[in-house]
Structure 1
């Protein structure tokens, strides 16, 4: 039996898709492919974090919320990352998000970062 190396997947629907944010967060440009988050809806909110605005170049950013509607889809990119890069993604989002696993439209299971108010 051959052990398979598990490569974590990280799904981004927002600023982690931007090359500048990837370079600042991970020190490299991530390779990824288009996919969609099923059963979630997207909204745009204003960021209160000046560091986020400086890194992303934006004052507003997308968030997602569980909709419980299988017809809802949020388009984005799924990236292969290391365990250390998952920690970097958590640090980039700071206290604004919590990381959970979700099944994407492709059937892949990936980490996603959801706004923490959902969990309060």
Structure 2
């Protein structure tokens, strides 16, 4: 992967699952533990048949900004290519939108939050 084309992707949910990574990216991603300050997590019901098939889960976590820096959502950060970011976009349903956030580690990463 060329260095300049890599981006960070943060996951607090099903993008951490091996089967979702294999189906979406064709490989397992190397992960580092990190956290997203200023957000809290709830669950959302998924109805998209393809996402249900890949994840095997009817309810997925979803996050929203709280404005409180003491709130924090733990997860994993992955270094991925632009093509893999597009694949992640295809996996996520319309309940989510992709935004750039500053993680606890100081990394700026893409993450899917409540739309």
Which TM-score tier does this pair reach, normalised by the shorter chain?
over 0.9
State the Cα distance separating 1:6 from its structure 2 match: 5.4
Larger radius of gyration: 1
TM-score by length of 1: 0.88
Please, which runs of 5 or more residues in structure 1 have no aligned partner? Answer: none
User: CA RMSD, aligned part only?
Assistant: 1.3
Contact 1:37 1:74 (8 Å CA) reproduced = yes
Please, which runs of 5 or more residues in structure 2 have no aligned partner? Answer: none
Question: Aligned pairs, how many?
Answer: 113
Does structure 1 residue 109 correspond to structure 2 residue 91?
no
Higher strand share: 2
| 1:33-83 Cα distance to aligned partner (Å, 9 max, x none) | 000011000001221222211110111110000000000000100000001
Aligned pairs for 1:1-40 within 5 A: 5=4, 7-40=6-39
Alignment match, 1:46: 45
